[in-house]
Amino acid sequence: MNYTTQMDAAKKGIITEEMKIVAKKEGMDIDILRKRIAEGKIVIPANKNHKSLNPEGVGEGLRTKINVNLGISKDCYNIEKELEKVKGALEFNVEAIMDLSSYGKTEEFRTRLVDMSPAMIGTVPIYDAVGFYDKELKDITAKEFLDVAHKHAENGVDFITIHAGINRETAEVFKRNRRLNHIVSRGGSLIYAWMELNNEENPFFEYYDELLDICEKYDVTLSLGDACRPGSINDATDASQIKELMILGELTKRAWERNVQVMIEGPGHVAINEIKANVLIEKKLCHGAPFYVLGPIVTDIAPGYDHITSAIGGAIAASNGADFLCYVTPAEHLRLPNLEDMKEGIIATKIAAHAADIAKNIPGAKQWDYEMSKARQNLNWEKMFNLSIDEEKARRYRKESTPEHDDSCTMCGKMCSMRNMNKVMKGKNINILREDD
163 is in an annotated binding site: yes
CA 324, CA 97: separation in Å to the nearest integer?
A: 12
Asked whether residue 326 is marked as a ligand-binding residue, the answer is: no
Neighbours of 380 (CB within 10 A): 13
Annotated binding-site residue? 185: yes
- Greatest Cα pair distance, the chain, in angstroms, is 86
Q: If you ran DSSP here, which 8-state letter would residue 64 be given?
A: P
Helix%, strand%, coil% for the chain, nearest 5: 50, 10, 40
Given a contact cutoff of 8 angstroms between Cβ atoms, the answer to whether 309 and 283 are in contact is no
Q: Which amino acid is at 118?
A: P
Q: Nearest CA to 112 among 90, 141, 144?
A: 90
Q: How far apart are CA 343 and CA 200, in angstroms?
A: 42
Q: Any known ligand binding at 265? A: yes
Neighbouring residues of 90: CB distance < 8 A, sequence distance ≥ 6: 97, 116, 117, 118, 119
- How far is the C-alpha of 253 from the C-alpha of 247, rounded, in Å? 10
Whether residue 345 is annotated as binding a ligand: the answer is no
Q: Is 412 annotated as a binding residue?
A: yes
Residue 416 among known ligand-binding residues: yes
Strands (E), 139-270: 159-162, 221-224, 262-266
69 annotated as ligand-binding:
yes
Is position 228 annotated in a ligand binding site? yes
According to DSSP, the residues that pair with 159 across neighbouring strands are 122, 221
The answer to whether the annotation marks 98 as part of a ligand binding site is: yes
71 in a known ligand binding site: no
HSE at residue 310, side-chain half, CA atoms within 13 A, is: 31
Burial grade of 17 (CB within 10 A; 0-12, 13-18, 19 or more): exposed
Residues of each annotated binding site for Zn(2+): 269, 333
Residues of each annotated binding site for [4Fe-4S] cluster: 409, 412, 416
Residues of each annotated binding site for substrate: 69, 98, 127, 163, 185-187, 226-229, 265, 292
Residues of each annotated binding site: 69, 98, 127, 163, 185-187, 226-229, 265, 269, 292, 333, 409, 412, 416
